[in-house]
Amino acid sequence: MVPLHHGDLQASLHPHCGGAFSYLRWKGQDLLRPLMPDRDSLPEGPRHSGGYVLAPYSNRIADAAFEWQGDTVQLQPNFGNHPHSLHGFAWQRAWELDRQDQPSLDEQSQDQATLVLHHLSDTDWPWDCKVTQEVSLGPSRVSLTLSLENLDTRPMPAGLGWHPYFQRTPKVQLEFSAAAVWMNDARQLPTHQVTPPDEWNFSQLRPLKWPGVDNCFVGWSQRAQIYWPEYRLRLTLVASEALRHLVLFTPENQTFFALEPVTHANAALNSDRPHAQGMRTLAPGERFSCHLQLILEEDHG
């Protein structure tokens, strides 16, 4: 584990479990779902954690295959019997701690860490690349940076994002604005965009309830707010320009929900126009990054 601490904010990263968050706490209160100690091993461990990064793509690739620059790329399905490939490879790999960034894990004042993942071409992703995640704690904020670098000799498709599992209390409220949302078919693949229906309209702070959403919003404000009345605590997510899509995942009868800022739409690599859906092409040696801040504010009213 890599424990981090700054004032009332505490976090822990688990490099060998997909680089996932073991926990994120404010004054001892869990904001993310804490990693289950009996489910902290790969490949399934990150799904029971506080959250993980998405690289080199987010969400689904239909039937684990896509067309790229005239070739068919066939990936290894990575989610049990699920036919699609999900969330990239980074969440199912062991990361390395950058020791230059964090020379001693015994320092109680340590408030930042950098994890690195070097990937060699395989059936999960046929390009050499490097993923870097940086986590820094401030007095009342978490700053996250995620980078992807193409180390291959060929151009590579690229996408990034975060998949945090926030605590879902009975009274939790959510706010963000979005121009549209993708509707899914029976295979959970996007088919068309619509204006967010009333029950999915979070343009004003409202209770999350149990809507059973697993959809990608587009044209969002790149700013969202979570409010826990039980904790009298607000968390504001502020995303960089590259994170133009937002996935909301609210499984029924669970104590968590996911609010995922990502660079591209679900199944963007299966689109006729993947770049219009947010995918990027990285030339050999090229790198791109995105940033996310989690800002905490106590409600003293």
**Residue range 56-108, pLDDT digits in tens:** 999 999 999 999 999 999 999 998 888 999 999 999 999 999 977 555 555 44
**CB of 83 within 8 A of CB of 48?**
no
Any idea what the CATH number is for the domain that residue 124 is in? 2.70.98.10
Specify the number of domains making up the chain. Answer: 1
Alpha-carbon torsion (92, 216, 113, 231), positive or negative: negative
Whole-number pLDDT of residue 286? 98
Tokens of 19: 């680089």
Domain that holds residue 28: 2-298
> E strand or H helix at 292, and its extent?
strand 287-298
Q: How far apart are CA 147 and CA 161, in angstroms?
A: 10
Q: How far apart are CA 114 and CA 258, in angstroms?
A: 23
Q: Supply the DSSP symbol for 44.
A: T
Q: Which residues pair with 245 in a beta bridge?
A: 218, 262
Q: What is the pLDDT of residues 160-215, one digit of tens each?
A: 999 999 999 999 999 999 999 999 999 999 999 999 999 999 999 999 987 889 99
Backbone phi, psi, residue 237, to 5°:
-95, 125
Q: Which residues pair with 292 in a beta bridge?
A: 144, 239
State pTM to two decimals: 0.94
Percent of the chain with pLDDT over 70: 96
